[in-house]
Structure 1
């Protein structure tokens, strides 16, 4: 009897330990630790840190509702490093040749972090997105490439890819307003490339009336404002784009533009030093 009682007591004492051993851990390999969301498939394997920069979704501090802030508040860039960018691009090329387009995408994104607005990397990103069957970012990178390098090395190939992607992108439009906006943005982009800024502005404004959340229309309206010398309107519209798509294809270009807008308005440019009005009276011996 006493033996049976002893065994029963031991079983009761050991049961919590046994249950703990059988329960799966919540933060083991392949599982996210508590309080941390699982990594997304498109940003978990990069050995560099193109996705490490936090992106805020709140209105930029220099928005109209937050007066007194400067344009630097719209975001920060990694240290400009062409050497690091070239290394990342070289690795990306290797992955692309091996057919590993997902890895190539990550490394091209890393390269662009260290050298924003680099036309070659932007074109390569467009190609890579196309190979990954992601037409929307592919088309946007093509538009950005043609904006930055209208006579660049890959212009002909870029235009062919753009023509091939156009009907695919149009098919993605779900509503009549989105389809109308797509056509208007397309027309506005042509006018913008011809430096017909007023006509382009009208097209992009009409596109936003049809589809107020159209990212392309918002960014290119800001670009058209800037090229037409309407700096205040450009700044407000670039900020609208960043609120709409803080991590979008054109986000770095918008931030760079905002950083340059004060200088383009003539603010912060040092005056020329005063020059002497006459030569010194003493001549050199």
Structure 2
């Protein structure tokens, strides 16, 4: 497989201006940042993948990863895959606390310097998959001063089942069943393709996506819409959840508990026996 056709790198200017990255450190950070933004939430590939992508040796990649981790721009942890511990990396974006004036800033009061152009790299490939890192200036400026909480999220201490149980608590039981069907579906995909990582951290991101899509849909039957999204993903073999186009919305049916009818007063006559009063039970 040609890795350059399957991946992408985009280099927003804040990577250079905020963290002063350049060369191999900038390239590797860009690649892992791109993977951090998708639904997997981390880079799950190998060191060789990075080396092949940038046509450098693996030792250079190892040194670069350690340097980025030391600068607080990467978080590394390990997860078991088929009984083998493998490394995972998430790109971080810590806040830059500096009161120094930028050397490029115009000294004239009230005027801002012209925007600097991002470095163009011939190896950059436009992202075609939904959820990839946007390269437009508006999105970059909007996120420039806001650290991404999802990128700093720690690995979940819960299991996938516990994550789904917490998410579906208080909802109709059908939602939890649909979530667990999706869990089985993702486990099967992960066994076939190791790149389709499935973990509690990814499950949490799926729950966030479900809530966001339900909110955007504005439906009355929120649980029903969530179930429809999950079933749609399982039927189509998708790794994520997406809006349902043909969903028929209706208000959830109210649950009524029938109350027993009150006993009618019994007429007691001179012929009424004790057995009659006890409901036919013999003395």
Give the TM-score category using the shorter length.
under 0.3
Q: Given the two structures, how large is their TM-score scaled by the length of structure 1?
A: 0.24
Q: Given the two structures, how large is their TM-score scaled by the length of structure 2?
A: 0.24
User: Larger radius of gyration, structure 1 or 2?
Assistant: 2
More helix by share: 1
More strand by share: 2
Larger RCO: Structure 1 or Structure 2 (Cα < 8 Å, ≥ 6 residues apart)?
2
